[in-house]
Amino acid sequence: MKEKTTRYLVIFMALVGAGLLFFSLTGVFAAPGDPPELNEGLDFPVIDPWAKPPDAHLQAALTTLPQPAVPLTLPSPAWRVGILTDGLYALSYAELDVAGVPVASTSPAAYRLFWRGQEVALDDSEIGATFESGEAFYFYGEKFHGSVQDEKYTAENVYWLTVDSSTPGLRMASRAVSPSGGGAPLTWYTETVRREENLVWWARWSTSPGTDATWFWERMESTTCTYGVTLTNPAADVYSATFQVELAGRSEADHPVRFVLNGVTIGETNWSGQIGHQTTLTFPANLIQAGSNTLEMVRLATHDTYLNWFEIQYRRRPVAKDSELALLVPLSGSTAFTITELPVEEIHLYETTVPTRPVRLTNATYSVHSLIYEDVATAGDTYLATSVAREPAEIGSYSPASELLSPPEGADLIMLTAREFFTAVQPLVERRRSQGLRVQLVDVAEAYALFNGGIVHPEAIRSLMAYAYDNWPGPAPQYLLLVGDASFNLQGYNEADYGIWTPPVIPPYLDFIDPDQGEVPVDAYFGDVDSDGSPELAVGRLPVYTPADAVGVVDKILAYEEQPVAPWMTRTLFVADDGSSSLEGFADVLDDLQTAYLPSSLATDTVYIQDYCSPVSSSRCPSATQALTTTWGQGAALLTYAGHGSIHRWAHEPLLFNEEMITLPAMQGLPFILSLDCWDGYWLFPPRYPPLGSRDVRSIGEWATTVLTDRGAIGLFGPAGLGYVYTEKQMSQAMYDGMFNQGVFRLGELTQRAREAISWSYLARTYTLLGDPTLMLPWWEALAVTPATITVTAHTTLSLPAAVTVTGTTRFGQAFVVPPSWTVAAGSLDGWGAFTAPTQTQQIMAQAHSGAMSTPFTINVVGGEAITFTITPDPLIIGAGSSTTLSALGTDQWGNSTSVDPTWSSDLGAIDAATGVFTAPVEVTTGWITATVDLLQASVPVAVQAREVTTVTISPDPLEIAVGERAAMIATVTDQFGNPLAETITWSSDLGAIDATGLFTAPLHAADGWITATVGSVSDRAWVEVQHRIYLPLVLRRG
């Protein structure tokens, strides 16, 4: 192990075991100085943080997800119609006009309504040939009904209105129900009154809770708990009514409960264990009182019990309430209905047995506030009589995002958020694109619309990811960044205790996967496209509620990537808890990581509580906290924490509270935190949580990454529930091996390695990345591309990964081959790195990227295969017996010049077939020279002419010479082609003497004149200056 000169560290890896002090969200450990209520009545699971998770943990991890949904397409435009209760709804002319529906120009027959791909029948009985102001379509709608788990996300159901002139919309069938006097009178129907309130949240502490509820009416702390229930218009019949209740045990003990209605015991139930329990009892109907009734639940043991809901099913007379009655027929046959207490005659009457295909019932009789009709019914049929037509909660225009089903380009990164966040995150989108990543920014509402009929559910998001993975242009997406927060209070229950509700931006994917906590958010599921429980996409989340919050976090990421080289980039920080009552070996885990993986050039700081305060105590260790905040504030690239953790603190003393991170200085050297503990990756608390009183309930991970935008951490990978160091140690080893032995610095790849290393454990699913999965740790010192220049033919495609090798050198002296992303200044590039050159020859600058680090290289685009070529010179005029070299240059289909290697031939003289050197015949003649390139040929005409003297040139010119000296003059003779000729020169001079060879002798006196060379009629002359010699005097000096 390295010598520890300073006991601190900087990749924040939190190894925290969920021991005695790490428990469920409903049991929070209290420290000295905490409010007294934190020490009272808190019950939480106790686990050994060093234990190997039992088989139950393995089974939880192997839970498979449903197969992803297929997209439901809609025409454009469409109108989203949201409703929150069951009943009759009106789509009025005025409302549709405000929503942008072209009511004035659309035929009534063109209106169509859909629900999750099924067409819903409309009632247009009040509309004539044209749709007029004051008129309305009607439809029967229901709030969202699904499983308990599905209903946690929303109560809103969504219908879609379209206008389609080519296909008439589905309309309700009608049936006459005139009373004839022959039907059996309906004197009662079966009414079920359900009493349920969602006031207390509990995550259930189990992967098999028996029932799926996590919101309960109350935790039954009194021996006798009393509840009221209103039962109106009971029939005066002798029969057995039914009572049903759902409860849940909080402990493993027996849970006997007695039920008393209006003072009379109606039965008991008993079950064992920390599971949900439903029971059904019957009782004499004469115990029911018209109006208010009192139900008592008597706990026959003191063990904790939760109440979720109870129901009483009884016979109710067909009496309307608030001008409406929905009834379920108990018997089959011809039935005479009389529904009373309907104050107005304008009644809508429907059979609603098939909710999407109601039947409009006509010819009923209205008399003295009663509606009378007769129909042949089957037991279980349902009817609705109402004078109340509700307005939808929302009617909004929608244009389907068809580009999500067939985009022109795929994506490496899918960034999913609400549309109002688009502007806030656009700078991060552009940054990633500039680094060579393909990015698709997607509105989460599109996922709901395309894959769940508009209804909010995390499966719609996962289905979109699966569709993109399988159908978008490749390669398949690798990363998913969720930008948006939520809480476990998804529908705004009990704001008095849990704080003011904010609608979720991106919901959690809830699952009972944590064996000790129970239900936790599993962001990894969003990336699990093949439903095997392990994500194919690396998933990260920025838990923010507002666009302004998103701007702060995006700016934090961008600033992190723009930092100049600084010492913090090669510092790491290790932080360790001591234990709850004795040393638990957390420091040893971190020492082992340092010894096994850290390069010697990395500076290592450690903050181990045991080095500052000993023995283990429940009191705070101020010197350790001071050392932590001081060293953290100095900056580091990596911080690893190992120890206990709760939602708002590190270590049992504690070492650090979430809100204490505000004392960190504004800093540039933000660490990536790896948390080996419990809870750091949890992001799902609402504004308040009753067991924590007034404390801030955002996790250490949320505070470090998104609450603080100028300090804290750049990202955190931690558990969204409880954890075991046995497992977390293996996970951290895989990440450290990736970082320091493989050169893997991108958070997405690192977290995927972590999950693969512990794929057998539920922690592989519950560990959560709070941060951008495409962010790269700042450990590349340089990138190099070999070769630095490559050549490609115009309009052809070249694989850059095959053509060049990118090598990265780390800040700690290692070198690794890097799988980069690419950008090019011209041409086009697909997701596989296949570069298609432009059609014009040019030199293109390209870059290889690994995160924020990049390096340039050059792509030379050359011409392609010649489709034509030309010969130079054209024509060739040459003197008899002379030689010259011809050349050929090709042109490709894009007009680029390109080299060719022709075979030469000629019908006169001689030509070298390979080099194009042509020697003309000695006689005057004409002919052709031909060049052949594959199937292409080109020819030029040749004219051989007699050679004539055209120029004579003397040198030197001018000539400066001393009196009496000699100089050799040279005359060059050329023909009309510029070729030299060997001709006899006639020399003459008007001073001195010159012989036949051109040797000139200057006169013995100074003079100026000309020397002339003549060949036939062509001559040249040079100027001559004859000068006296200059003698310098000789001066002798005595030595």
Q: Give 555-585 pLDDT, tens digit per residue.
A: 999 999 999 999 999 999 999 999 988 999 9
Which of 260, 294, 316 is the C-terminal boundary of a domain?
316
Between CA 433 and CA 430 the distance in angstroms is 5
Nearest to 370 by CA among 326, 347, 339, 348: 339
DSSP character string of 395-450: EEEE---GGGTS-SS--SEEEEE-GGGHHHHHHHHHHHHHTT--EEEEEHHHHHHH
Between CA 707 and CA 546 the distance in angstroms is 12
pLDDT, average across residues 791-815: 95
Residues 598 and 699 in one domain: yes
End-to-end CA distance of the chain: 86
Lowest-pLDDT range of 22-26, 444-448, 571-575, 666-670: 22-26
Token code pair at residue 910: 């001689």
DSSP category for residue 319: B
Which class for 794: exposed (0-12), middle (13-18), buried (19 or more C-beta within 10 A)? Answer: buried
Cβ-contact 38, 646 below 8 angstroms: no
What lies within 8 Å, CB to CB, of 9 at 6+ separation is 572, 573, 574, 575, 590, 604, 605, 606, 607, 631, 636, 638, 639, 640
pLDDT at 25 over 60: no
Which class for 180: exposed (0-12), middle (13-18), buried (19 or more C-beta within 10 A)? Answer: exposed
What's the pLDDT score for residue 842? Answer: 95
Domain assignment present for 264: yes
pLDDT at 51 over 90: no
Number of neighbouring beta carbons within 10 Å of residue 722: 31
Residues 587 and 654 in one domain: yes
DSSP character string of 884-946: EE-EEEEE-TTS-EEE--PEEEESSSEE-TTT-EEE--SS-EEEEEEEEETTEEEEEEEEEE-
Q: What is the pLDDT of residues 746-787, one digit of tens each?
A: 999 999 999 999 999 999 999 999 999 999 999 999 999 999
What's the pLDDT score for residue 24? Answer: 28
Kindly report the length of the chain: 1039
Token code pair at residue 797: 């495609």
Nearest to 647 by CA among 45, 6, 29, 8: 29
Q: What is the pLDDT of residues 833-853, one digit of tens each?
A: 999 999 999 999 999 999 999
Q: How many CA atoms lie within 13 A of 1025 on its CB side?
A: 6
pLDDT at 912 over 70: yes
pLDDT, average across residues 993-1013: 93
Domain assignment present for 538: no
Between CA 64 and CA 53 the distance in angstroms is 19
Residue showing tokens 């709030």: 143
* Cis, bond preceding 392 (omega within 30 deg of 0): no
3-state helix, strand, coil in the chain (%, to 5): 15, 35, 45
Domain assignment present for 914: yes
What's the pLDDT score for residue 566? Answer: 96
Lowest-pLDDT range of 110-119, 321-330, 970-979: 970-979
What's the pLDDT score for residue 403? Answer: 87
pLDDT at 711 over 70: yes
pLDDT at 1021 over 90: yes
Domain assignment present for 525: no
Between CA 639 and CA 671 the distance in angstroms is 6
The CATH number linked to 1008 is 2.60.40.10
Which of 812, 841, 862 is the C-terminal boundary of a domain?
862
pLDDT, average across residues 647-664: 94
Between CA 217 and CA 197 the distance in angstroms is 5
- Helix then strand count (H, E) for the chain reads 16, 71
Token code pair at residue 176: 């006459």
Between CA 511 and CA 208 the distance in angstroms is 11
pLDDT at 215 over 80: yes
Residues 802 and 872 in one domain: no
What's the pLDDT score for residue 693? Answer: 86
Domain assignment present for 498: no
Residues 791 and 736 in one domain: no
pLDDT, average across residues 126-151: 96
Between CA 125 and CA 360 the distance in angstroms is 9
pLDDT at 976 over 90: no
pLDDT, average across residues 164-178: 95
DSSP category for residue 827: S
The CATH number linked to 914 is 2.60.40.60
Q: If you average pLDDT over every residue of the chain, what do you get? A: 91
Q: Are strands 413-417 and 479-483 parallel, antiparallel or unpaired?
A: parallel
Between CA 501 and CA 153 the distance in angstroms is 14
What's the pLDDT score for residue 617? Answer: 87
Residues 694 and 789 in one domain: no
What's the pLDDT score for residue 37? Answer: 30
Q: Are strands 925-933 and 936-945 parallel, antiparallel or unpaired?
A: antiparallel
Q: What is the pLDDT of residues 54-90, one digit of tens each?
A: 545 444 445 678 899 999 988 889 999 999 999 999 9
What's the pLDDT score for residue 893? Answer: 87
Residues 789 and 702 in one domain: no
Residue showing tokens 């023995």: 615
pLDDT at 1001 over 80: yes
Between CA 565 and CA 54 the distance in angstroms is 46
Token code pair at residue 982: 């060997």
Q: How many CA atoms lie within 13 A of 260 on its CB side?
A: 13
Domain assignment present for 482: no
Residue showing tokens 């790491």: 572
Residues 204 and 265 in one domain: yes
Residues 941 and 954 in one domain: no
Nearest to 590 by CA among 654, 642, 628: 642
For 811-817, which contacts have Cβ atoms below 8 Å and span 24 or more sequence positions? 811/569, 811/570, 811/601, 811/778, 811/779, 811/780, 811/781, 812/570, 812/599, 812/600, 812/601, 812/602, 812/740, 812/779, 813/599, 813/601, 814/599, 814/740, 814/743, 816/742, 816/743
pTM confidence score: 0.86
Q: Strand, helix or coil at 286?
A: helix
- Split into its structural domains, the chain has a count of 5
Q: Binning pLDDT at 50, 70 and 90, where does residue 15 land?
A: very low
Domain assignment present for 496: no
Domain assignment present for 324: no
Residues 729 and 613 in one domain: yes
Q: What is the pLDDT of residues 386-425, one digit of tens each?
A: 999 999 999 999 988 888 999 999 999 999 999 999 999 9
Burial 362-371 (b: 16+ CB within 10 A, else e): eebebeeebb
pLDDT, average across residues 513-532: 95
Q: Binning pLDDT at 50, 70 and 90, where does residue 668 land?
A: confident
What's the pLDDT score for residue 817? Answer: 96
Lowest-pLDDT range of 219-233, 392-406, 622-636, 702-716: 392-406
Percent of the chain topping pLDDT 90: 84
pLDDT at 490 over 50: yes
Between CA 591 and CA 584 the distance in angstroms is 14
Between CA 957 and CA 128 the distance in angstroms is 111
Residues 810 and 832 in one domain: yes
Residues 761 and 893 in one domain: no
Q: Which residue has the higher pLDDT, 384 or 14?
A: 384
What's the pLDDT score for residue 781? Answer: 96
Between CA 112 and CA 90 the distance in angstroms is 14
Q: Strand, helix or coil at 732?
A: helix
Residues 819 and 844 in one domain: yes
Which of 281, 316, 351 is the C-terminal boundary of a domain?
316
Token code pair at residue 652: 């049992």
Number of neighbouring beta carbons within 10 Å of residue 525: 25
Token code pair at residue 124: 């247009």
Cβ-contact 312, 75 below 8 angstroms: no
What's the pLDDT score for residue 190? Answer: 96
The CATH number linked to 721 is 3.40.50.1460
**Domain residue limits at 585:** 36-52+563-770
Taking each helix axis from N to C end, the angle separating 444-452 and 458-471, rounded to the nearest 10 degrees, works out to 90
